[in-house]
Amino acid sequence: MRAIRTSVGILFALTLAARAVAAEDYPSKPITWIVPFTPAGQADTSARMLAKTVGEKLGQQIIIENKPGAGGIVGAEIVMAAKPDGYTIFYGSSGPMGILPKLHKTISYDPVKSFAPIAAVAVSPLVLMTAPGKPYKTFPEFVDYARKHPNALTFSSVGIGSTQHLGAELLSISIGTKMIHVPYKGSAPAVIDLLAGRIDVAFDNYLPNKAHLDAGKLIPMAVAAEKRLTSLPDVPTIAELGFPDVVMSSWSSFAAPAGTPQPVIDKLADAFLAAMADPAIIKFYNESGSTILEGVVKDKARDFYISEGERFKRIIDVSGATPE
């Protein structure tokens, strides 16, 4: 029995030693970031911009893999089940890491227990947009039309439980009407239908729609933020227009599978801190209408998940949003 205990102890010590060596050499090969949405949206664009800089800080290539589905749950499950060695990282946005765990009665993962938080990166307020062919061009016109046509207008989102979904449900409640939710697997396909007039309105981030807004192909009616965006200074906030409770932003974060060695998490967090202080990254987020979250890494990122989850739960209760 003593020999067995000794063997187990030696094996455990060797395992710890091997993990320590692996962490010391990390990263020794390319790292994969799982982005749970389609290419060309806010998440994908931001991830690719950050991947270049974070990769430079780590001295290793970062590969982006888009794994859309179920509002981000598909991507979360892939990373949760991955080997906890720091080579598979989740781009955890506000949907899969904040809203969906509160919206669904049962879900396959827990944002805090199933992952090792690395960094919460930035917050991006949503813009309410429509196409020029609609019978409303301003927010007051939209509110008047929506109230006169309940259950007639459609709104898109990047999936059930996304900030786009929750923001529009909150807006519907606030203005006293009801709209029809049409979920997509990402921002890009949703915008195609918005441009074509097949969708009536949409909440989305500024960055992936900048070219359409600049060209007049989409009209920004209002911003769901406490203050106007510097990138859209002439567009009023919904709060300014009489609905102070309609404030909704998406956010981005990065997390590894639970059980990832702490030295690996430390290296990744340090790389993100350095990347977020890079002038090119600061410029990118400023121009995209986003606010960088400074120093929100590791335990602070975990606390961020918890507090945001509680905030989204309150909004879900008020808005009456459901998974269906």
- What's the pLDDT tens digit per position in 122-139? 999 999 999 999 999 999
Distance CA(147)–CA(178), nearest Å, equals 8
Neighbours of 263 (CB within 10 A): 15
Yes or no: say if 320 and 181 are a contact pair by the CB < 8 Å rule.
no
Residue 51 to residue 21: CA distance in whole angstroms: 25
Q: How far apart are the first and last CA of the chain?
A: 56
The per-residue pLDDT for 13 is 47
Res. 9: pLDDT tops 80: no
Tell me if 289 is assigned to some domain: yes
The model's pTM: 0.83
pLDDT digits (tens, 9 = 90+) for 146-187: 999 999 999 999 888 889 999 999 999 999 999 999 999 888
pLDDT given at position 97: 97
Same domain, 93 and 52: yes
Q: Where are the beta strands (DSSP E) in 146-263?
A: 154-157, 180-183, 201-204, 219-223, 249-257
Residue 83 token pair: 């080997």
Is the confidence at residue 228, as pLDDT, over 70?
yes
pLDDT for 6 equals: 57
> What are 289's two structure tokens?
């209408």
214 within domain boundaries: yes
Domain assignment present for residue 241? The answer is no
Q: Which H or E run contains 101?
A: helix 100-103
CATH code where residue 68 lies: 3.40.190.150
Is 314 among the domain residues? Answer: yes
Would you say residue 42 lies in a domain? yes
26 shares a domain with 91: yes
| 61-72 exposure pattern, b = at least 16 Cβ within 10 A, e = fewer | ebeeebbbbbbb
Q: pLDDT at residue 239 above 70?
A: yes
pLDDT of residue 22: 58
Q: What is the pLDDT of residue 4?
A: 56
> Do residues 184 and 215 share a domain?
yes
Task: Say whether both 315 and 261 belong to one domain.
Answer: yes
Q: Tally the domains of the chain.
A: 2
More confident residue, 242 or 21: 242
More confident residue, 192 or 7: 192
Is the pLDDT at 215 greater than 80? The verdict is yes
Torsion sign across C-alpha atoms 44, 48, 53, 57: positive
At position 80, the amino acid (one-letter code) is M
With cut-offs at 50, 70 and 90, classify the pLDDT of residue 1: low
Identify whether residues 89 and 135 lie together within a single domain: no
CB atoms within 10 A of CB 292: 16
pLDDT at res. 17: 47
Averaged pLDDT score across all residues of the chain: 92
pLDDT digits (tens, 9 = 90+) for 15-67: 454 455 557 899 999 999 999 999 988 899 999 999 999 999 999 999 999 99
Measure the CA–CA gap between 142 and 145, rounded to whole angstroms. Answer: 5
Residue 320 pLDDT class (50, 70, 90 cuts): confident
Task: Print the domain residue range for 217.
Answer: 127-223
Q: Give the model's pLDDT for residue 11.
A: 55
Query: Rounded to a whole number, what is the largest CA-CA distance in the chain?
Result: 82
Residue with the bigger pLDDT between 189 and 324: it is: 189
pLDDT band at residue 321 using 50, 70 and 90 as cut-offs: confident
pLDDT given at position 166: 92
Would residue 239 count as lying in a domain? no
Q: Same domain, yes or no, for 187 and 160?
A: yes
